[in-house]
Amino acid sequence: MQNKLPIIIRKLSQNDVIQIADLNISIAKETENIDLPKEKIQNGVQQMLDNPELGQYFVVEHEETQEIVACFMNTYEWDEIKNGLIWWIQSVYVKTQFRRKGVYSRMHNFLKELAIKNGALGLKLYVEKKNYRAQQAYKKMGMIPSDTYFFEETFNKTN
């Protein structure tokens, strides 16, 4: 890795909602080849901002240009067996030109430290099966594939 990119990681603000929605649209297009409706995604990001009990969004900003170069969010899962919270890492996106510059590792470490400070039991995330580059990045951070499968059942809901 070359020189560290000068970045700051901060919580999402109202001024960031549109840009973060655009990054989420990019995530879906790049990883799943899905075109998401912009207004619905903006509403989803706004809901997270308005309801911090759901989780929190973070933006990664270039310190010198103030450009948003990446984003991620975390949500919470209660584990009744272990009697504590698991923090889920979600909606991770690093703009193409800022990849392989240590941005994700700093994002991950930032959230890990915050989770530990807040008493979380651990971090989890899901990744598309064919997103091998992301899987390697997560393994480099010490994460391991789970012994469980992730199943889902979705319901159509329009906002």
Cross-strand bridge partners of residue 125? 89
- Res. 6: pLDDT tops 90: yes
Angle 147-153-159 from CA coordinates, rounded to 5°: 130
What pLDDT does residue 142 have?
93
* pLDDT computed for residue 3 by the predictor: 61
- Write out pLDDT tens, residues 22-40: 999 998 998 889 999 999 9
pLDDT at residue 109 in the model: 97
Residue 156 confidence class, pLDDT cut points 50, 70, 90:
confident
Within 10 Å of residue 9's Cβ, how many Cβ atoms? 18
The structure tokens listed for 41 are 């995604």
pLDDT at 1: 45
Task: Indicate whether this model's pTM tops 0.75.
Answer: yes
> Is 140 exposed, middle or buried, given 0-12, 13-18 or 19+ CB atoms closer than 10 A?
exposed
What the chain holds in terms of domains, given with CATH numbers, is 7-140 (3.40.630.30)
> Listing from the earlier edge strand, what are the strands of the sheet with 122-125?
7-11, 55-62, 68-79, 84-94, 122-125
pLDDT per residue as tens digits for the range 54-90: 999 999 999 999 999 999 999 999 999 999 999 999 9
pLDDT, tens digit (0-9, with 9 covering 90-100), for 112-139 = 999 999 999 999 999 888 889 889 999 9
- Whole-number average pLDDT of the chain: 93
How much is the pLDDT for 74? 97
Residue 123 φ/ψ, nearest 5 degrees: -115, 145
pLDDT at 2 over 90: no
